[in-house]
Structure formats: C-alpha cells, structure tokens
Amino acid sequence: MTDATTREGEARVADIRESMSEQVVSREVVVGMLQGLHARPADQLAREARKWQSRIELLSDSQRVDGKSILDVLTLAAEAGTRLIVEATGPDAREALEAIGSLFDRNFNDQENNESR
Amino acid sequence: MKFSDFVAADAIRSHVDARTKEGVIREMAQSLVDAGSIAAGDLESIVKAIMKREDLGSTGIGRGVAVPHTKHPSVSRLVGTVAVSHDGVNFESLDGEPVQLFFLLVSPPDRPGDHLRALENISRQLRDETFCRHLKSAKGPVDIQHLLEEADSHGVAS
C-alpha cells in the first residue's frame, strides 16, 4: 500500500468518525396548544423522537426527561405557554431537533387550536 | 395532584369483565355513575366522547396501561377511576400489548391544567414497575385504593 492510499484511508476513517461523533444541539420551544402538552401531542412527540438514533431530551425548569417516552413527557405537565428546551445528542441530532422543533412550531397540528375559540 | 384528588374510591374495579375497548370504557363509566360521580343521563354521551377521543389515537400508552379520557361539560371537577383487567384487553396500544390497567378521566372543558396534572401524576407513578405490578395483581378494589394512597403519601416502596 502506498503512502497516498494509506492517507486516503485514514482520511476516510476520520470522516466516518466525524459523522458518528456525538453532536449536541438544542433549541427552545413553546407549548402553544391551549390544552398544554397532553396525551396526544406527547404520543406524537415520543413517536417522532423514536424515529431518530439520537437521544432526545426535554428540559423544563425542574426536570430533564426522555423525549422518546410518553410517560416521561407527560410528567412535565407542560401547560400552554410553557417554555422547554429540546436537546438532541447523537449522529442525527440536527435533523432530529428540526423535526421535533417543527412539531411544536405547528402546535402538533392540534385541531382545537385551529377551531374558533 | 394526588390520586385521591380525582379517583372516586367507590368506582374502583379490580376485575373488569369486558373484553373490548368500548366494553371497558362503558364498564368504568358505569362505575362512576354507580359511585355518584357522574349522572346516569350523561353516561352515553361520556362513553361516546371517550370513544371519539380514542379514534384520534389510542390512549394505550404502553406497559399495559391506558388512560381513556374526555372533557365533558357535565362535570364541574375532574373525576376518574381505576380498573384492572386480569386477562388484558386489546386497546390498540402504541406498543401493541394488551392493556390490564386503566385510568379513566372525565374533566371539565375549562380546566386543562387539572387534566395535565392528573396525567402527570399517573405517568410519574406508572414509571415505577413495582407499583404497576402490585396494581395488576390487586385482589380487590380496597387493595387498589391502598396502593393509590401509598403512592400519594410517599411513592410505593418495593
């Protein structure tokens, strides 16, 4: 094996390592649903979170919970207007955070929010 | 919020007979009627509302637990009850497992916070495997009531 191919091989390994490395990204979200983060959105959230390889956690003022567990998400008892931090850690953290963040931005497509009040 | 704040002790059932989702919901709602927590005249409308909510997505949240619920204008405060099915009922749960443990909630439409805090309490306690196991093996309503009281006071010791 020549020096050049060895270097190429090392570079490729480094690339793979880079892409596997633990990315940690986070953003703030606001619970916009009038009914708060109740069972149905908690279910949607956990389902979405489980699609990703990264660890997804939700942070409130007093708790840090597993976003892939409905039971965990429900223990936040997050009412309308609550601010939370979503944190994603892992190889697909950015994409995962974008997907989860978008659920909050769309109010989980909550029908009640779209009905006339 | 504690279990004692919303669980009608007289409506607790340790052996539900129903084998279907609607059957269990109806049996639990009937137990709330018998306990005087909801009016007999509202039974049908409450069962229908809970089933409508189930159509949006099962409240079978996994680990053999379901939390069927609805908002209903006939109640002025959150009322609920607990039931156990020893055989388990197909509730189209998220994890596909049959459900043995049911927490049914009926809340006033204008009190979303109370509903959230009841869900919080239920989910917090249910993360405790021991608590779930004891509930599922309860011999009678009094056993369940004692387990709920124990959870209310200091969590369940293993």
Q: The domain A22-114 is classified under which CATH number: 3.90.79.10, 3.30.1340.10, 3.40.50.150, 1.10.287.70?
A: 3.30.1340.10
Distance CA A60, CA A82 (A): 8
Mean pLDDT of A88-110: 96
Q: Which of B56, B117, B126 sits opposite A71 (nearest CB)?
A: B126
Q: Which of A35, A74, A76 sits opposite B112 (nearest CB)?
A: A35
Average pLDDT, chain B: 93
- How would you classify residue B82: left for phi > 0, otherwise alpha for psi between -120 and 50, otherwise beta? beta
Q: Is the pLDDT of residue A116 over 70?
A: no
Q: Tens of pLDDT along A27-61? A: 999 999 999 999 999 999 999 999 999 999 999 99
For chain B, the structural domain boundaries read: 3-153
- Decide: B122 and A75 in contact? Cβ < 8 Å: no
- Residues of A designated catalytic: 38
Q: Tens of pLDDT along B35-83? A: 999 999 999 999 999 999 999 999 998 889 999 999 999 999 999 999 9
Q: Which amino acid is at B69?
A: H
Distance CA B53, CA A73 (A): 20
For chain A, the structural domain boundaries read: 22-114
User: Reduced to 3 DSSP states, what percent helix, strand and coil does chain B have, rounded to the nearest 5?
Assistant: 45, 20, 35
pTM for this prediction? 0.83
B-proximal residues of A, 51-110, CB under 8 Å: 70-72, 74-80
Burial class (CB within 10 angstroms; exposed 0-12, middle 13-18, buried 19+) of B100? buried
Confirm or reject CATH 1.10.10.520 for domain B3-153, answering yes or no: no
Q: Can you give the pLDDT at residue B17? A: 93
- Residues whose CB is less than 8 angstroms from the CB of residue B158 and which lie 6 or more positions away in sequence, other chains included: B130
Q: Is A39 close to B61, i.e. CB distance below 8 A?
A: yes
